[in-house]
């Protein structure tokens, strides 16, 4: 009897080992010296607020695709888009980071991964088509660099979380995607981050970049995963670009525009360069910059990240008079509110809270912004605001880690 059961037990234990979380939530990561978290609540209270919102977020935004075994993150905006690569990246990062708390995180992650794989861009077979519409078909066969970078980072998180020896080789898939990102979405002359794979070497936008695509923490992980020193060039060149843009165009507020034209002679984009009349302002793309830069200080202690966020922190506390309710949904680079933007946008509030974590002088401000951020109900905001809020809550609570 024992001999018959033993092989089954071995296989069962092997299966459990392969699917076990190596980095389960909560992590309670020790961030860089001098950084802070909300200190008016216990760690258990912070964790509970994160998990409560996660349950709501997952229920609303993770949807079954047209193909069995595939899931996507619901775009939830008017129009013909059902999902976008940006949302797929957010969802894959969130589910990997919440593994351990969520026993179905791996299954969800794998379903999101399969949807990504089923929707390649036209150029670069491992890049994702930017948008999908009804019937789950690509409506835009070009890529969006930020979505591809987040998906690649999420795959590296998954490799660290579950390993790559099972049915899904996350590490291998990440390296395939990173090779295409480097080939199609990085300018090989200036090593700036291109907006998409649609930028050709002879096109006017070949030296342009979207500020929110600079994810220094991701770039470090990409270098570690591939050994490719070109990722260091992208990291250092873009830090220099951001410091130049702050000093030249926003010396008081420290804000970056949504789009930067010609990185060799950088300047903010003009109105309607790509998306709106505020393409040269701190708008719905650049609002993510304090989060992307701030987390690089938290996990790596990069002094450049602290300097960039420090300038933003000082201006923001002054312009709001220390009251988070005065945060507007968009600013000029001079630090003035954009017209008719006096409303709450979680995609602006959450990243500002992450940047506040880089300096101990912001403790009371951070506490206030955290309370302000979590009071808003998921039903009152769309996928973009709620997904950024979800990621930022994981960071602010001390539960964000890198691969």
Residues whose CB is less than 8 angstroms from the CB of residue 79 and which lie 6 or more positions away in sequence, other chains included:
none
pLDDT for 322 equals: 97
CATH code for the domain of 270: 1.50.10.10
Marked catalytic residue, from 47, 102, 146, 385? 146
- Kindly report the length of the chain: 403
In whole angstroms, give the CA distance from residue 373 to residue 157: 26
Q: Where does the pLDDT of residue 10 fall: very low under 50, low under 70, confident under 90, or very high at 90 and above?
A: very low
Does some domain include residue 264? yes
392, 210 contact by CB (below 8 A): no
Closest CA to 218 of 166, 285, 145: 145
Q: What average pLDDT score do residues 62-78 get?
A: 95
Does some domain include residue 255? yes
pLDDT digits (tens, 9 = 90+) for 382-393: 999 999 999 999
Q: What average pLDDT score do residues 314-324 get?
A: 98
Element (H, E) at 87: helix 85-97
Q: What average pLDDT score do residues 43-72 get?
A: 98
Does some domain include residue 262? yes
56, 64 contact by CB (below 8 A): no
Does some domain include residue 331? yes
Q: Looking at beta carbons, which pairs linking 374-380 to residues 24 or more positions away fall under 8 Å?
A: 374/49, 374/53, 376/344, 376/346, 378/53, 378/56, 378/57, 378/60
User: What percentage of the chain has pLDDT greater than the value 70?
Assistant: 95
Does some domain include residue 62? yes
In whole angstroms, give the CA distance from residue 377 to residue 348: 16
pLDDT for 20 equals: 76
Closest CA to 325 of 261, 369, 286: 369
CA angle 145/117/403 to nearest 5° reads 60
Residue 154 reports pLDDT greater than 90: yes
Dihedrals φ, ψ of 138, to 5°?
-60, 130
Task: Record the pTM.
Answer: 0.94
Does some domain include residue 328? yes
Q: Where does the pLDDT of residue 141 fall: very low under 50, low under 70, confident under 90, or very high at 90 and above?
A: confident
pLDDT for 19 equals: 59
Residue 95 reports pLDDT greater than 70: yes
Q: Where does the pLDDT of residue 140 fall: very low under 50, low under 70, confident under 90, or very high at 90 and above?
A: confident
Residue 2 reports pLDDT greater than 70: no
**Number of structural domains in the chain:** 1
Q: Where does the pLDDT of residue 160 fall: very low under 50, low under 70, confident under 90, or very high at 90 and above?
A: very high
pLDDT digits (tens, 9 = 90+) for 236-295: 999 999 999 999 999 999 999 999 999 999 999 999 999 999 999 999 999 999 999 999
pLDDT for 88 equals: 98
Could you tell me the strand order of the sheet in which 138-140 lies? 83-84, 131-132, 138-140
| Mean pLDDT over each residue of the chain, to the nearest integer | 94
Domain containing residue 106:
23-396
**Lowest mean pLDDT segment, chosen from 137-146, 210-219, 326-335, 392-401:** 137-146
Does some domain include residue 402? no
Strands (DSSP E) along 290-329, which ranges?
none
Does some domain include residue 3? no
Does residue 279 carry a catalytic annotation? no
Q: Where does the pLDDT of residue 79 fall: very low under 50, low under 70, confident under 90, or very high at 90 and above?
A: confident
Map residue 397 onto helix, strand or coil: coil
pLDDT for 78 equals: 78
Residue 15 reports pLDDT greater than 70: no
């Amino acid at each position: 009897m024992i001999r018959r059961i033993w092989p089954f037990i071995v296989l069962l234990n092997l299966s459990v080992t392969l699917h076990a979380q190596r980095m389960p939530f909560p992590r309670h990561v020790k961030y860089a010296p001098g950084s802070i978290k909300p200190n008016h609540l216990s760690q258990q209270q912070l964790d509970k607020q994160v998990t409560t919102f996660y349950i709501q977020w997952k229920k609303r935004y993770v949807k079954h695709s047209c193909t069995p075994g595939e899931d996507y993150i619901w775009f939830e905006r008017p129009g013909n888009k059902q999902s976008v690569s940006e949302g797929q990246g957010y969802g894959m990062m969130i589910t990997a980071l919440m593994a351990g708390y969520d026993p179905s995180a791996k299954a969800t992650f794998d379903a999101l991964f399969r949807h990504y794989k089923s929707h390649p861009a036209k150029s670069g077979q491992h890049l994702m088509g930017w948008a999908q519409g009804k019937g789950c078909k690509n409506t835009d066969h070009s890529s969006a660099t930020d979505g591809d970078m987040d998906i690649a980072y999420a795959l590296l998180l998954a490799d660290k979380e579950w390993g790559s020896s099972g049915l899904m080789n996350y590490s291998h898939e990440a390296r395939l995607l990173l090779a295409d990102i480097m080939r199609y979405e990085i300018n090989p002359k200036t090593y700036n981050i291109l907006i998409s794979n649609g930028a050709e070497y002879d096109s006017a936008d070949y030296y342009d970049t979207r500020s929110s695509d600079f994810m220094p923490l991701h770039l470090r992980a990409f270098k570690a995963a591939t050994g490719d020193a070109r990722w260091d060039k992208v990291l250092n060149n873009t830090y220099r670009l951001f410091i130049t843009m702050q000093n030249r165009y926003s010396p008081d507020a420290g804000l970056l525009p949504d789009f930067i034209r010609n990185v060799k002679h950088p300047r903010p984009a003009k109105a309607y360069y790509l998306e709106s009349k505020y393409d040269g302002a701190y708008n719905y793309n650049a609002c993510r910059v304090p989060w992307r830069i701030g987390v690089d200080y938290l996990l790596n202690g990069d002094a450049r990240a602290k300097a960039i966020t420090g300038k933003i922190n000082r201006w923001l506390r002054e312009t709001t008079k220390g009251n988070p309710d005065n945060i507007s949904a968009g600013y000029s680079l001079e630090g003035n509110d954009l017209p008719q933007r006096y409303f709450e946008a979680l995609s602006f509030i959450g990243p500002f809270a992450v940047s506040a974590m880089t300096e101990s002088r912001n403790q009371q401000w951070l506490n206030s912004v955290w309370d302000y951020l979590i009071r808003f109900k998921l039903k009152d905001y769309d996928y973009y605001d709620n997904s950024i809020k979800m990621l930022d809550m994981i960071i602010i609570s001390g539960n964000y880690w890198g691969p």
